[in-house]
Amino acid sequence: MPSQRSWIRPYERQLPYLQLALDLLLIVLNAVIAFRLRFEFSYFQDNARYLLPLLLALPAAAIYFPLFNLYDSWRGRSMIPLMLRVAAAWGLTIATTVTIIFALHYGSSFSRLWFTTWAIGSLYSFGLIRLLWVAGLQMMRHKGWNERRLLIVGAGDLGQVLTDRLAAARWTGLRVVGFLDDNPELEGQNYRGIPITAQVDQIETWIDRFDAHEVWLALPLRAQDRVQEILHLLRHSTVTIRLIPDVFSFRLINHGFTEVLGVPLIDLNASPMMGSNRFIKAIEDKVLAGMILLLASPVMLAIAIGIRLTSPGPIFYRQERIGWNGQPFMMLKFRSMPVNSEAKGVQWGKAYAKPTTPLGSFLRRTSLDELPQFINVLRGEMSIVGPRPERSLFVEQFKDEIPDYMKKHMVKAGITGWAQVNGLRGDTDLRKRIEYDLYYIENWSLAFDLQIIGMTLLKGFLSRNAY
CB 237, CB 206: distance < 8 Å: no
For residue range 328-372, list pLDDT tens digits in order.
999 999 998 888 766 555 555 555 556 778 888 888 888 899 999
Residue 351: the pLDDT is: 54
Rounded distance between C-alpha atoms, residue 166 and residue 330, angstroms = 47
pLDDT higher than threshold 70 for residue 462: no
Give the helix/strand (H/E) hosting 256.
strand 256-260
Tell which wins on pLDDT, 238 or 261. 238
Predicted confidence at residue 247, as pLDDT, reads 73
pLDDT digits (tens, 9 = 90+) for 272-311: 888 778 888 999 999 999 999 999 999 999 999 999 998 8
Domain extent listing, the chain: 9-142, 148-249, 276-340+351-459
Query: Can you tell me the distance from the alpha carbon of 367 to that of 376, in angstroms, rounded to the nearest whole number?
Result: 16
Cβ-count burial 72-95 (b if 16+ within 10 Å, e if not): eebeeeeeeebeebbeebbebbbe
pLDDT tens per residue across span 85-98: 899 999 999 999 99
What's the Cα-to-Cα distance from 269 to each of 77, 281, 327, 341, 401, rounded to whole Å? Answer: 20, 19, 18, 40, 20
pTM for the full model? 0.61
- Place 70 in a pLDDT band, splitting at 50, 70 and 90: confident
Q: Report the DSSP beta bridge partners of residue 263.
A: 260
Give 226 or 354, the one with higher predicted confidence: 226
- In the predicted model, what is the mean pLDDT of residues 109-114? 84
State mean pLDDT over 148-156. Answer: 90
State the pLDDT at residue 90: 95
- How confident is the model over 427-460, as pLDDT tens digits? 667 889 999 999 999 889 888 999 999 999 887 6
Q: For 3-24, write each residue's pLDDT tens digit.
A: 444 545 555 667 788 889 999 9
Q: How far apart are CA 406 and CA 345, in angstroms?
A: 24
Report the alpha-carbon distance of residue 370 to residue 334 in Å, rounded.
7
* Closest alpha carbon to 161 in 95, 93, 244: 244
pLDDT at 40 over 70: no
CATH number (3.40.50.720, 1.20.1260.10, 2.30.110.10, 3.30.365.10) of 148-249 reads 3.40.50.720
